Amino acid sequence: MFDPAEAGQREWQKNMSEKRSDAITSGFERTPHRALLKSTGVPEGQMDRPFIGIASSFTDLIPGHTGMRDLERFIEKGVHSGGGYSFIFGIPGVCDGIAMGHRGMHYSLPTRELIADMIESIAEAHRLDGLVLLTNCDKITPGMLMAAARLNIPAIVVTAGPSLTGAGRGGKRYSFVTDTFEAMGQYKAGVIDEQQLKVCEDHACPTAGSCQGLFTANTMAILTETMGMSLPRCGTAVAVSSLKRRIAFASGEKIVDLVRNEVRPRDILTRAAFENAIRVDLALGGSSNTVLHLLAIAREAGVELPLTLFDELGRTTPQLASMNPGGKHFMEDLDAAGGVPGVLKQLGELIRDCPTLLGPSTRQIAASIAEVDEEVIHPLSDPVRPEGGIAILHGNLAPKGAVVKQSGVSETMMTFEGTARCFDSEEAAMEALMGGRIKAGDVVVIRYEGPRGGPGMREMLAPTATLMGLGLGESVALITDGRFSGGTRGPCIGHISPEAAEGGPIALVEDGDRIRLDIPGRTLELLVGDEELAARRAKWTRPEPKIASGWLARYAKVVTSAHTGAICE
């Protein structure tokens, strides 16, 4: 019987070049392959359709991912509506909040590499024609983008979206970081009682979705959209919205179109696209972790992206939004104000015109926004701050660079000189903080927490949030070769390179040394003479690995310091 739809599909297929999936579907030699595909339920009439992998990071373990089963359905519907055939496969994820402050955080950043490797493995082994990358949280989104750039087969990203803020009395809005991690320090300091602490716990995460402020997950979602790898509004639409479902459906349809037209990630992930991502990150005051991730993604895309570029662009990109955790607005506010297109519109000529997966260029998308809420996304003529949210520091403590989220630092702490208090682990620093041994005028030095020394470059959210909760954010600085959560605020400098485990100068600091921080001047200096430092270096020996078994022991042998993006060589 003649089937018009199937005939149209065959005509459509005739106009395509050879598909990757032909390697498992075409010819009598592939009889065993087709038998296995039919065993999964693939009908005979679907064998000629483009095979689309839906890399889903659904898990019951991560609040930002628990709603993905719903989005998988809408992506599937879109793929089949567009003329493809979809296959869902699973990708793991770690919730940084749950992994925080214990052994589990060692595994967070390294999973970025595992995720990229797993997607590469599945896509190549099964000769998938295209990919929809369903993601949301911190290391999962960059890992998926790394895979897309590495494979360079048609791919589109769907980020699952942020949670709504929790509602409290008198218009109080609760969010995860400021109302749980910082509340710990407030409780310890006697600012709030146990009942108030419990209220924070119960209201901080009211719905599925990523953390509500401009933390790493949401920053990466925004930058993914900025670079053109996801559809407009995808980066800011909240997890529980019907809009997110419609974006998922449209992304499923779009991937088939991308396969048909052979549009590949490296067509989109150009140097100009990365510059736009950095500009938007700086304009919003986003997470400092994006420095690591953009460097790593650029490497996979074959794009040269020096660390110094973040600072060069930062000096000419004003901060246009005051976003939580350092400011007052949340992701739902940013979305209502115009989302990423609204930010692009406000940045104007600072944004380079680049292609996107949608079709319209970045400037065309910006021009499509009729109005922007300028209380949330300020115009260039009235910025929140004259410079971008991230600054790159250098000096004898960080010869290859360090990163600070200056949008979260008060004016009084932009320059600071204090006395070093050294700790060789996050746990030791937390014990000192909770024990009341850190005083005004100190510089907390947390080392051997870098990519190699950690291993895994743990986030230091617990110490930084405790500092703020204890009321020390205006009198104590913290420096580390580890990294920070996107929720970190205060004078906290991370990514110090080279790291202590590679013999970087941070390994030579001693209690009582004076350290000078000058964010406007972009310097981080250890005020110790060269001769004394040379004597200390002569005595330094690399400590035994903190973790000597399992895959993290292998990871530590191949990972590089943060200035490279903590990539594996």
Residues known to be catalytic = 485
Partnered with residue 405 across adjacent β-strands are 390
Other beta carbons within 10 angstroms of residue 443's beta carbon come to 25
> Are 264 and 153 spatial neighbours (Cβ–Cβ below 8 Å)?
yes
Got the DSSP string for 500-543?
Answer: GGGT-GGGG--TT-EEEEETTTTEEEE---HHHHHHHHHH--PP
Contacts for 312 with CB less than 8 Å, ≥ 6 apart: none
> Are 207 and 233 spatial neighbours (Cβ–Cβ below 8 Å)?
no
Distance CA 419, CA 428 (A): 17
Q: CA triplet 108, 113, 118: central angle to 5 degrees?
A: 115
Annotated binding site for Mg(2+): 96, 138-139, 459
Partnered with residue 227 across adjacent β-strands are none
Annotated binding site: 96, 138-139, 459
Distance CA 398, CA 496 (A): 5
Distance CA 143, CA 135 (A): 10
> Are 136 and 64 spatial neighbours (Cβ–Cβ below 8 Å)?
yes
Partnered with residue 55 across adjacent β-strands are 89, 133
The two structure tokens encoding residue 509 = 């600091």
> Are 534 and 505 spatial neighbours (Cβ–Cβ below 8 Å)?
no
